[in-house]
Amino acid sequence: MFNKIRICIVLLFFVGIAEAQRVKSQAAFRMLQTANTLMEVQQLDAAEEYFTKGLSRAVANNDVYSQAYAYQGLGTLYSKLEQPAKAIENYEKSLKLYKSLKLTVVASVVESLLKSTKGIGDLYAGIEIGAKGVKMSIMEVKLSKDRQYDYTLVGDTAINTDAAELSYQSEKETQDALTLLWNVIKDRHQIPAKNVHIVISSGLRQELDKYNKVDYFAYVVRPKEMDQSVSITSITPAQEAELSILGIVPQKDRFLANQLDVGSGNTKGGYFTPDRTLVPFTFSLGTKSFQRLIDGRVNGDFTAFAATAEKLWKDSIAEVLAKEMLGKNELVTKDAIYLSGGIVWALTSYMYPQEAQKNYVEISAESIAAFRRKIGSDFAGLANPAALATISDNQTAEIARKNISRVVKTYDQKALLSGAIILDEIVKKVNTSNTKKKFIYPRYGYVGWISGYIIKKVTHQYTTMLASK
């Protein structure tokens, strides 16, 4: 399945002091700036005329910078006009001139535009080492004709290792998983090492920090044959929350909605205030860590497990959640929350099988509560939802069945209940006053924060180049 994530980036199409000094014909350059403005307001015929006239003046005045700028503009114009051959021709001329002027920042952007026009993107690999397993996302990054980066999920895979056990066996399994994925990155996709990012999730880091083992873990699970330039880093819950918003929430909703991820080791999320300040939300329990907490207090069947879970939540954990939410008023007041995490995937697969091919599924607070109840009252029935029989599209029905089969293999009854309690209780807390609030499951959310990490790294490449000028 291919999913596309778009993020508007302020590109480096500018003229700084150094570039302004290179302009030999102010009249030509003013004409090219006018052409750019016309192109931005979709007056493309007029823009082409001004670009052409400006280029002629630049050539007459031997103004190399303005020529490069003109060819760049014409490349973008023809790209918008769906004339790729002309776009490629002009981008190539622009790139050659920018390189001759040693303007590496703009040359890099034009090179990205040229590759995208040719249908070529840059591949990036992101590997998340989480509390429950290792996930890899392969993303193709293209710079579009609208000066946006398009992030296309080319492929993804996950390997269960239960790294949070912090045992020799789990460390060995994690290393084996990384070795396998590294070979896929290197041999099958031929992704350069500089485009590979490996990150220990905040949930796993939370467990490792208890024993001051973050650096040790990163060292011991590192494949021996991995390129030394590839580092294994870790992030905090607050960093993961910011990256999740960047990678999961659509650009149009980024400053209007909340994002919450119920992971294996913890729960995190947050929102941006009107002045674009991140307010993170972090909660130390996730599906797996809550299950381990319950298992440590009870030795019995599911009934005993469920009773202990409910009592534990009521007696102590509810208060911890309430304290974490203090002062985070927009978790309650905002109109939408993007919910991600394995438990949300499981809920959507069981309760909304008819939506199996939708990238965004709106789920209700009532269905979340019903899911929690059904885990205890009709666990067998979850795997055979009534809605599955009503799906008329064969492809959707097949995908829905596969999703349910994967959930059955991934989560047992205790794990489902652990995650459902956390999800339901948080939703109750944030759903107290805004009756119009929407709860949205983004299907690509499982690679959300690692996608956000790649997006941020790509952006950083340009800002770093700019700072070094």
Tell whether the model's pLDDT for residue 462 goes beyond 70. Answer: no
- 48, amino acid identity: E
Tell whether the model's pLDDT for residue 211 goes beyond 90. Answer: yes
Are 123 and 189 in contact, with CB atoms under 8 Å apart?
Answer: yes
Strand order in the sheet with 267-272: 278-283, 267-272, 258-262, 336-340, 438-442, 360-363
Residue finishing a domain among 67, 92, 118: 118
Looking at the fold, whether 49 and 163 belong to one and the same domain comes out as no
Of 2-16, 55-69, 267-281, 361-375, the poorest mean pLDDT is in: 2-16
**In the predicted model, what is the mean pLDDT of residues 231-243?**
85
Phi, psi torsion values for 223, nearest 5 degrees: -60, 140
The reported pLDDT for the residue numbered 236 is: 86
Domain annotation covers residue 127: yes
Residue finishing a domain among 210, 234, 258: 234
**Cα distance from N-terminal residue to C-terminal residue, the chain:** 40
Looking at the fold, whether 101 and 189 belong to one and the same domain comes out as no
The reported pLDDT for the residue numbered 460 is: 64
CA angle (360, 363, 369) in 5-degree steps: 150
Give DSSP secondary structure letters for 228-273.
Answer: TT--EEE--HHHHHHHHHHHHS-GGGTTT-EEEEE-SS-EEEEEE-
* 244-262 pLDDT tens trace: 787 788 878 888 999 999 9
The reported pLDDT for the residue numbered 253 is: 86
Q: What is the pTM of this model?
A: 0.68
Tell whether the model's pLDDT for residue 5 goes beyond 80. Answer: no
Looking at the fold, whether 157 and 178 belong to one and the same domain comes out as yes
Looking at the fold, whether 33 and 104 belong to one and the same domain comes out as yes
Domain annotation covers residue 464: no
- 198, amino acid identity: I
- CATH number of the domain at 288, please: 3.30.420.150
- The CA distance from 310 to 317, in Å, is 10
Which residue would you say has higher pLDDT here, 450 or 30? 30
The reported pLDDT for the residue numbered 274 is: 86
Looking at the fold, whether 330 and 424 belong to one and the same domain comes out as yes
Which pair of structure tokens corresponds to residue 88?
Answer: 């490629």
Domain annotation covers residue 463: no
Looking at the fold, whether 201 and 334 belong to one and the same domain comes out as no
The mean pLDDT value of the chain amounts to: 87
Query: What share of the chain in percent tops pLDDT 70?
Result: 90
Kindly give the pairing relationship between strand 122-129 and strand 133-143.
antiparallel
Residue 259 burial (10 A CB sphere; 0-12, 13-18, 19+): buried
Looking at the fold, whether 262 and 355 belong to one and the same domain comes out as yes
Q: How many helices (H) and strands (E) does the chain have?
A: 20, 12
The reported pLDDT for the residue numbered 144 is: 60
* 317-330 pLDDT tens trace: 999 999 999 989 89
- CATH number of the domain at 81, please: 1.25.40.10
**In the predicted model, what is the mean pLDDT of residues 129-158?**
77
The reported pLDDT for the residue numbered 112 is: 80
Domain annotation covers residue 432: yes
* 416-428 pLDDT tens trace: 999 999 999 999 9
Q: Which domain holds residue 112?
A: 10-118
* 331-378 pLDDT tens trace: 999 999 999 989 999 999 999 999 999 989 999 999 999 999 999 999
Domain annotation covers residue 199: yes
The reported pLDDT for the residue numbered 423 is: 97
Looking at the fold, whether 165 and 96 belong to one and the same domain comes out as no
Looking at the fold, whether 331 and 270 belong to one and the same domain comes out as yes
Looking at the fold, whether 313 and 435 belong to one and the same domain comes out as yes
Tell whether the model's pLDDT for residue 397 goes beyond 60. Answer: yes
Domain annotation covers residue 455: no
Looking at the fold, whether 114 and 129 belong to one and the same domain comes out as no
Query: What share of the chain in percent tops pLDDT 90?
Result: 57
**In the predicted model, what is the mean pLDDT of residues 391-413?**
93
Tell whether the model's pLDDT for residue 467 goes beyond 50. Answer: no
Of 5-14, 91-100, 297-306, the poorest mean pLDDT is in: 5-14
Which residue would you say has higher pLDDT here, 448 or 84? 84
Looking at the fold, whether 109 and 173 belong to one and the same domain comes out as no
Number of domains in the chain: 3
Count how many Cα atoms sit within 13 Å of the Cα of residue 17 in the half-sphere of its side chain. 1
DSSP 187: I
* 276-318 pLDDT tens trace: 888 989 898 999 999 999 999 998 899 999 999 999 999 999 9
Residue finishing a domain among 176, 204, 234: 234
The reported pLDDT for the residue numbered 8 is: 39
